[in-house]
Structure 1
Amino acid sequence: MARTLLYLVRHGEQDPALGHAPDGGLSERGRWQADRLGRRLKGVPFSATHHSPLARAAETAEILADYLPGVPRHACEHAMDRTPVPSAEHRSEYPERLHSWLDGVPSEERDEDAVGLRAAVEHFGNLAAEDRHELVITHNFVIGWFVRHVLDAPTWRWMSLNQENCGLTIVQWDTERPPALVAFNDTGHL
């Protein structure tokens, strides 16, 4: 039986002076969070570290690399910050009270009908011939989408799944059963 364990981590806290700037790095607290997470993950036999190309995720990956020697890491489009928004034909799948918020999502973050997020699940959720552990440093809504998918929840439920900075979520795929949520937003290391 082959198994894939996907460790999903939200990047460390971004420097608040930079707002939500895509090129904004970590705050001092964010660097501390990443260091504590690195200590927690030390020794996990990761095949690779995939991270969002945005500075806050790349910097988190760099700090974690000190605890994961020899684990290759790279920027990955599947880990990019995305907000799934419904197309006009799927808008009714979301509660009406959420429509105005969804309408305000900036165009550069919009992932209509979660096309990019569905591709990310397909990419990371595949099984290999042998067990593997993958680390993905990404963003809140991406992790919410993975959890929603694994729990087979309604499309819009990603919106209520909030992840702390450097919180750890683990999802699992194996050949014998449907995907499973192993841990959600674990912050015991912080």
Structure 2
Amino acid sequence: MPTMLLLRHGRTTANSAGLLAGRAPGTALDDFGHEQAAALPGRLAGVPLAAAVHSPLQRCVETLAPLRAARPGLPVYEEERVIECDYGEWTGRALRELAEQPLMATVRTRPSAVRFPGGEALRGMAERVVAAAQEWDARVAREHGEDAVWLLCTHGDNIKALVADALGLHLDHFQRIAPHPASVTAIRYGDHPLLLRFGDTGDLREFVPHTPAGERDRTAETEAPVGGGA
């Protein structure tokens, strides 16, 4: 199956101000976030991306802008299903303030039971994001082959849900996962998902092909990963 690179958007003005941005319009990258976005083409140099898919929110669009400029022929798709969780009445509020809300204890320890006031259930968020990622992965396989690499730019909780699903973890454990802004996490689906890399903020040359696609043996990587694999 293809390799999915999960990119969390760069740092935003809400991140640096300690606010829960959610789907609030106008949440842009801050100066450091723009630096992170500008570094992305170099980090992905040589990685043959078949496609890029992104959340419609401004911070994801801005994160991908330098990569799109560097690769004008890259197919790019907006996907509504990988938008940020709808935090409802919590949207735009200070995280320090929200930490005092009784519901936050459940968010930390039993997120599968949480529905945000006037918003979305975390379980529903996880289901839509996992379904979207797997459908796009299958589409990339059909259109570009089993060895294709593609990029999905989305949000922190979404990536936590995707990693938890790939590792077979209950959603109640997804708070143990913490992807940083502009980090890349790599997952390959198949008979069982493989988490190839988590939260990478540097070199991504691992995903530059080093042998012809037809000669690559995925069996050794998935069915007999003795010694940690290569």
> How far did residue 78 of structure 1 move?
2.8
Q: CA deviation at 1:61?
A: 1.3
Question: Structure 1's 126 and 29: CA in aligned 2 closer, same or farther, altered over 3 A?
Answer: same
Q: Which of 127, 144, 152 lines up with 1:115 in the alignment?
A: 127
Shift of 1:140: 0.4
Relative contact order higher in (CA < 8 Å, ≥ 6 apart): 1
Alignment-derived partner of residue 64 in structure 2? 61
Q: Which structure shows the bigger proportion of residues in strand conformation?
A: 1
Long gaps (5+) in structure 2 = 88-105, 204-230
Once the two structures are TM-superposed, the CA of residue 173 in structure 1 deviates from its matched residue by 2.0
Runs of 4+ displaced beyond 4 Å: 99-104
TM-score (norm 2): 0.66
Task: Using the aligned pairs only, state the percent identity.
Answer: 29
The structure 1 residue matched to 2:188, chosen from 156, 172, 175, is 172
Where does residue 184 of structure 1 map in the other structure?
198
Kindly tell me: are residues 77 and 66 of structure 1, through their superposed partners in 2, closer, same or farther at Cα, counting changes over 3 Å?
same
**CA distance, structure 2, for counterparts of residue 75 and residue 121 of structure 1:** 13
1:64 aligned counterpart, secondary structure: helix
Size of the aligned set, in residue pairs, is: 175
The 5 Å alignment of 1:10-159 reads 10-16=8-14, 19=19, 20=21, 21-82=24-85, 98=109, 103=114, 105-113=116-124, 114-126=126-138, 128-129=141-142, 130=145, 131-159=147-175
The equivalent residue for 1:91 is none
CA deviations on 1:57-97 (whole Å, 9 max, x unpaired) are 1111112212333101122113211279xxxxxxxxxx796
CA RMSD of aligned residues (A): 2.8
Amino acid at match of 1:65: R
- Classify the secondary structure of the residue corresponding to 1:107: coil
- Give the Cα–Cα distance (whole angstroms) in 1 for the partners of residues 77 and 166 of structure 2: 25
Whole-angstrom CA distance in 1 between matches of 2:69 and 2:107: 46
Q: Which has the higher helix share?
A: 2
